[in-house]
Chains A and B, each alone.
Chain A
Amino acid sequence: MSETTLGGIAGRMPKFIRRADPAVLTAFACIVLLLFLGSLYSRSFLSPEYLLQQLKVASFLGVIATGMMLVILLGQIDLSVPWSVAAGAMMACAAAAYGPVGVVLAIPFGIFCGVLIGIVNGIGVAYLRIPSMIITLATNAVAQGLMVVYTGGFSPQDSATGAMRYLATGFAIPGVPNAVIIWALIGAAMVFVLTRAGFGRTVYGIGNRERAAYLSGVDTRRVVMIAFAVSGGLSAFGGVLLAGYASKAAQSMGDAYLLPSIAAVVLGGTSILGGRGSYLGTVAGVILITLLQSILSVMQMPEAGRQIIYGVVIVAMLLLYGRAPASR
């Protein structure tokens, strides 16, 4: 099935195909397969309204996965996503309670809190040389503790501001949800940074071999720190959008985004060891994960079954093309 699909596209766009990563093509093939399976289950699956709705849901994950990708390209990982998302959302909602100034500053303040978490991660990874997996888990725990203390153990009563709701659910261009536009803008910026800007090249360089990048005169530690700050900020922005979508912030709202954001990046062909991967793959991964979630919920699969299928699909796809070379 995927062979014939690939052949068909290759016939039309040979140059695009020749440069494409097999992992990205596999991810897109899986998207087509999922759409096909979904359409067998329900006719409305291929309707434009439904697909647009999926794209809108995907854009929240897309924003978060963009930051995750930047960090994974460095060969690091950001496990502080759950509470960066929650902190961004909760702090933005909290700021809105402080009068008109608070309402205006709500979104920037939420993002700022995420950037702060990211900077702590970045200092730990880049300057203190603590493994990213460990320090991000620790900052995640600290962020959780801060939020629990702040809210007194309950979800905050503050609801999202009008601007947040507009960003997440409004339509600036008729027919295209704002969330999708935001994801497109952030994605375009990311593509520009990764492929055209010096910063992006150093990110790939550090991901391949940090020593080599350092010896080439790159201030690798600063680059790593900025990447973590951006990742934290984007996670928090994702949280702000989610709060706008649900019109309020909740404590555990970020839990559902850690595994999907890593999975989307890795399924999109970005090497977990760093230094290799394209944003197109991440887009494919995000859409793939969102469609998978959507089909499972349309089938009324309970949470337990969803988690199992999720884990199995991720392991299976990684076994297909995410394996490390054999030691010899």
Chain B
Amino acid sequence: MKDWRYWLAEQRGTLLALGIFIVMFIIYTSNHPAGFTANVVQTAANKGVLLAFVAMAQTLVVITAGIDLSVGMIFLLTNCLASWLVVGTPMQTTLGVIAVLAVGLLCGAINGAIVIYGRLQPIVATIATGAVYYGIGLLLRPFPGGSVNEDLADAMTGRVFDVVPASLVVLFGIVLVIWVPFSRSVLGRAAYAAGSSETAAYMSGVPIRRGKFAAYTLAGLLAAIGGLFLTFFTYTGDAAYASGNAYTLFSIAAVVLGGVSLFGGKGSAIGAIFGALAFRTIGDLLFVFDFDPLWQPLFQGVILLIAVSLGAFALFRVRNRLEWFL
């Protein structure tokens, strides 16, 4: 009985993010000069999907009560790498894609190894590894440039059956292939348990280390998929420090909007995807209302500030003042 109520309670954050996204997207398209057409949706999807992948990556780590401040830099590094490798014949392109994804996995695994087996704080460790990844990206692409297999790029950023944006289809596929199996596996449960209460999980014999390691590694992979897509959209590799930082920052905003608890153990990557799409739509609202683009960084910053301040409402549920200090 009442199974649906448990489901509703569990998915509240995700559904809220979906709601915000739908409302924002309706406001966006109804004020867009071109209206709700396949082209508008395609452009919006392509921009949103980039952030959605990075936000998924951030979600996996945040669920374990950690944080990955290097996702933006992995995203940049794989973008630079893809601009070298994802070219040539279909065979070469395939190998290139595999190599780029492998590098993403490796970056994530290094983060995981340092945080879990090296027992360093995720904040400092990932800021430092982020500097390394950025440095490697800059070595690969001191100046913006490079190229990509344009057939593949156009296929990935185009439309399926002339209606559905291909990037959304890929995003859906990635969710089915990576997120769904992970969140239902023992490792995924372990990642949630570690985020919820590491000591209790440890005492219960949950494989928390393996779970957390899997989360960090898959985060690297997802960031690399994001990096690949960035290359598909821009046709170039560019190690822009500000852009890497911005994606890290926006991924945290998307995760928060998507109902994932920053204290760990709660939320889902699907929520974060809607959070990412909603965040992008809100950011683009300025354009359809003809504001000066100069205001966009401030506007996005304010949205982020409001989004993170929403968490403060939990304070009203506190019964004992000692619960302030966890």
Contacts and interface: CB of A to CB of B under 8 A. Distances in A.
A315 B299 CA distance: 35
B123 A145 contact: no
B298 interface: yes
A144 to B, nearest CB: 6
Given A148-B294, A308-B131, A327-B198, A210 B120 contact: no
Contact of A145 (B202, B241, B302): B302
Contacts of A326: 119
Interface in A280-328: 302-312, 314-315, 318-319, 322-327
Contacts of B322: 211, 214-215
A134 B132 contact: no
B120 A306 contact: no
B278 interface: no
Nearest to B115: A324
Interface stretch (B135-143, B154-162, B176-184): B135-143
A273 B124 CA distance: 11
A235 interface: no
Contacts of B321: 214
A146 interface: yes
Contacts of B300: 141, 145
A138 B305 contact: yes
A315 B128 contact: yes
Contacts of B119: 323-326
Sorting the interface of chain A by its residue count into under 10, 10 to 19, 20 to 34 or 35 or more gives: 35 or more
B298 A148 contact: yes
- Which of B241, B295, B298, B299 counts the most chain A CB atoms within 10 A? B298
Contacts of B132: 307-308, 310-312, 315
A128 interface: yes
Sorting the interface of chain B by its residue count into under 10, 10 to 19, 20 to 34 or 35 or more gives: 35 or more
B118 interface: yes
A305 B294 contact: no
Contact of A304 (B114, B138, B245, B301): B138
A134 B256 contact: yes
A135 B138 contact: no
B268 interface: no
Contacts of B142: 302, 304
A77 B138 CA distance: 27
Interface string B248-264: 01001100100000110
B4 interface: no
Interface string A251-279: 01001001100110010000011000000
Contacts of B129: 311, 315
B308 A144 contact: no
Given A319-B120, A327-B199, A142 B301 contact: yes
A77 B309 CA distance: 17
A131 interface: yes
A139 interface: yes
A225 to B, nearest CB: 14
A303 B128 contact: no
Contacts of B125: 315, 318
Interface string B284-326: 0000000000111111111011011101101100000110110
A309 B134 CA distance: 11
Contacts of A210: 325
A225 B131 CA distance: 30
A129 B324 CA distance: 7
A44 B283 CA distance: 53
Interface in A126-162: 128-131, 133-135, 137-146, 148-149, 152-153
Contacts of B121: 272-273, 324
B262 A134 contact: yes
B295 A311 contact: no
Contacts of A144: 297-298, 301
B102 to A, nearest CB: 20
A142 B304 CA distance: 8
A220 interface: yes
Interface in B100-157: 114, 118-121, 123-125, 127-132, 134-139, 142
18 contacts: A129-B324, A138-B305, A148-B294, A214-B322, A220-B325, A255-B241, A258-B127, A259-B128, A266-B124, A307-B131, A314-B124, A314-B128, A319-B114, A319-B118, A319-B120, A325-B119, A326-B119, A327-B198
Given A142-B304, A145-B300, A149-B298, 8 more contacts: A128-B315, A145-B298, A149-B297, A153-B294, A307-B134, A307-B138, A308-B132, A310-B128
- A-B pairs with lowest CB-CB distance, top 7: A145-B298, A307-B135, A141-B301, A308-B135, A311-B132, A304-B138, A311-B131
